[in-house]
Amino acid sequence: MLIGDGSYGYNNTPTFSSQDEELLKYVESKYRTRLSASHITKEGKLYKDIRIKGICSYLRNIGIYGQTKLNKRLPIEYQTLTYNDTINLLGGLFDTDGSILFNKENTRISIT
């Protein structure tokens, strides 16, 4: 999820930004967090930017610390993840940046 909707550039506390209540609750229950900013969206949902404390060393270990915007990549050992870790990685990417387009000719599943 952090790869899709996060910010973890050099010398900044990693931040997760979302309006998805389930994803926000997950991050807030698993990590020490602090609310950075929030607002109500046009759809009436609460959008939060939350800072995630104490995970920079973990991001360094998996090789993604300091990545920004279009330069984000998968963790360095993504090809050796366990089956469950692979499912969780793909699930997080689809939760944050995935879409499914249904029409009469075909179905398209994509990650942006």
* Per-residue pLDDT reduced to its tens digit, 70-82: 888 889 888 999 9
Domain enclosing residue 76, as ranges: 2-111
The average confidence (pLDDT) of the chain is 91
Write the burial class of residue 15 (CB in 10 Å: 0-12 exposed, 13-18 middle, 19+ buried). Answer: buried
Read off the pLDDT band of 100 (50, 70, 90). Answer: confident
Residue 112 has pLDDT above 80, yes or no: no
Give the residue from 52, 43, 55, 56 showing the smallest Cα distance to 24.
52
3-class DSSP state of 16: strand
Tokens 């090789």 sit at which residue?
63
Question: What is the mean predicted confidence (pLDDT) over 43-70?
Answer: 93
Q: How far from chain centre, in Å, is Cα 27?
A: 10
pTM above 0.85, yes or no: no
How many domains are contained in the chain? 1
Give the per-residue pLDDT at 80.
92
